[in-house]
Structure 1
Amino acid sequence: MDIFQEYFFQRALLGGALIGLTAPLMGVFLVLRRLSMIGDTLAHVSIAGVALGFLLGVYPVAVGLLFALLASFAIERLRKAYRTYAELSIAIIMSGGVALATLLFTFGKGFNMNVMSYFFGSVYTLDSTDLWVVAGVACLVLVVVLTNFKEMFLLFFDEDAAGVSGLPLRGYNILITMLTALVISVSIKIVGALLVSSLLTIPVACSLIVSRSFKNTVVLAVIFSELCVLGGLIAAGVWNWAPGATVVLLLIAVLICTLVGKWALRR
């Protein structure tokens, strides 16, 4: 097919493959911490950073990344302040992010169409700088997860035991939130801020249905993610569909098939 010869499509597939690898890695830990909605929160804060980047004439993804990192620190701080109602931190930061993004939209009427592309994804416009940023974040996530896999497993399955064993709980919590912020901020150009949390959660939801161990959950989540991201991008490219929406709908279709398959095997 001619579309596979196009450089923009090759860059889209490469960027999608990198995000398809890193997003479920972070998603597993978010789901285990019952913080699945943090993806939407950081995505909306990133959009505010992207809008400011366009307003200042600075690389928008970098500003969005900075905003997401600052939001991740704020979330962890608020989670400590509201220990009994930790989910309040997510609602507060999301509200602030949406409000700030809306305000910045009113200042930059000339670039609003560019910002809106980050809401729905613009994977076909990835350039070399975008790919290098995505690749850098992917390498960082892989290094951290692989070198701290056992500690993170203990932390999210039994935080009390992890604390007794001497693990720096606060440091690990901040680290995971920061890595999630990085992944989300570089993902919004690929699948869009409105859909990015799907890459964090739906592959994990699929893997939890069929996996029998934590390690299998992580591996299967990555496999489900990669198959759906690449399959969705190829289908979108061949039939001229919306890339981000195609990827997410394929993920949901796989989730439904997995649920039906497990239900059929039980009968």
Structure 2
Amino acid sequence: MDIIMSGFFQRALIGGLLIGITAPLIGIFLVLRRLSMIGDTLSHAAIAGVALGFVIGDFPIVFGLIFSLLASFAIEKLRKSYKSYAELSLAIIMSGGIALASIFFTLGRDLSMDPNSFLFGFIYTLTPTDLWAMLAVTVVVLLIVGRHLHGLFLITFDEEAASVSGLPVSYYNVMISVLTALVISISIKIVGGLLVSALLTIPAACSLLLAKSFKQSIVIVVLVGELAVIAGLLIAGVWNLAAGGTIVLVLIAVLLLILLGRNIISRVT
């Protein structure tokens, strides 16, 4: 248990708690709008950016953010071009992200780049600078979502009605995409590019089973996200497991327990 008192573990816990707020909070809007795969798409773009940053030798997380933002704008552009096939934009951008990442990993082979750290996270290497960046993103996400909650609620459940009522739908779509890009790019160190979408979607899946209102769903996704981060890090730290993968497995376990509980209740009643 000495690991819990170590500085690197405490930094990992703080970073995980911050991401446990922002990722599920953004994820509930994505899931309700049937855009769950946007997390995977932007994470692959972010991996490509981070890999390029390591090849260049500077600011890998900044490059990851830039690539995620560019991908989010490209998705919105393609969604307008393929209105009846919105998911096609995600497939195109994801393919491009994977292709670029593979090329940059090849270019960085002589730099001792470890692709696994990008794909599955390296939370124990968080620095105070990383934590300040995560805190800044958390504050930005909370402020924007809190200020625009009503508008986000409207476009989430009926985008056409929101547009007719005069709501700037395009503005809100870009806002959600940019916030998602911010959260994903800053989350890569926590759970990695391949697993970050789990933090976006699985808490939302739990919330859909438990919440009776939109406000309840927001509270539940954050609680589930924080529970999974704390439990996952403690389990990973004590038994020397991969932190990102453990967090995701805890999320899946929580979801399965909720499903089991609902089945038991339905049979009893």
TM-score by length of 2: 0.97
Task: Confirm or deny that 1:39 pairs with 2:39.
Answer: yes
Counterpart of 1:234 in structure 2 is: 234
In structure 2, the partner of 1:3 is 3
The one-letter code of the counterpart of 1:161 is A
Provide, for residues 19-46 of structure 1, a one-character-per-residue CA deviation record: whole Å limited to 9, x for no partner.
Answer: 0000011100100111101111111111
How far off its partner does 1:189 sit?
0.8
Would the aligned equivalents of 1:72 and 1:181 in 2 still touch at CA under 8 Å? yes
**C-alpha distance in 2 between matches for 1:13 and 1:104:** 30
Instruction: Give the partner amino acid of 1:255.
Output: L
1:19 aligns with 2:19: yes
Inter-partner Cα distance in structure 2 for 1:234 and 1:116: 21
* Cα shift at 1:112: 5.0
Corresponding position of 1:187: 187
1:158 Cα deviation from its structure 2 partner? 1.4
Q: What SS does the corresponding residue of 1:113 show, helix, strand or coil?
A: coil
SS of residue in 2 equivalent to 1:22: helix
AA matched with 1:186: I
Task: Supply the distance in 2 between the matched residues of 1:232 and 1:4 (Cα, whole angstroms).
Answer: 13
Name the residue aligned to 2:245: 245
CA distance in 2 between counterparts of 1:116 and 1:231 reads: 23
* Matching of residues 190-229 of structure 1 within 5 Å: 190-229=190-229
User: Are residues 1:84 and 2:84 paired?
Assistant: yes
Q: Structure 1, residues 32-74: CA drift from partner, whole Å, max 9, x if none?
A: 1111011111111111101110111111011101100000000
* Paired residues of 1:105 and 1:112 also in contact (CA < 8 A): no
Q: Give me the CA root mean square deviation.
A: 1.0
Q: Which residue of 2 aligns with 1:117?
A: 117
Could you tell me how far 1:115 is from its partner in structure 2? 4.1
What percent of counterpart residues are identical?
60
**1:3 touches 1:238 (CA, 8 Å); kept in 2?**
yes
Give distance in 2, aligned partners of 1:234 and 1:111. 32
Match of 1:144 in 2: 144
8 Å contact 1:52–1:104 — kept in the other structure? Answer: yes
**1: CA distance, partners of 2:159 / 2:25:** 19
Residues 100-122 of structure 1, C-alpha deviations (whole Å, 9 max, x = no match) = 11111221112353443111110
Question: Residues 115-160 of structure 1: CA distance to partner in whole angstroms, max 9, x if unpaired?
Answer: 4311111000001111111111111100011111111101111112
- TM-score when normalising by structure 1: 0.98
Q: Deviations over 1:238-260 (max 9, x none)?
A: 11111011101111011001001
Give the whole-Å Cα distance in 2 for the aligned partners of 1:113 and 1:238.
27
Q: Which residue identity lines up with residue 123 of structure 2 in the other structure?
A: V
Q: Which residue of 2 aligns with 1:71?
A: 71
Which secondary structure state, in structure 2, belongs to the residue aligned with residue 36 of structure 1? Answer: coil
- d(CA) in 2 for partners of 1:224, 1:260: 16
The gaps in structure 2 that reach 5 residues or longer are none
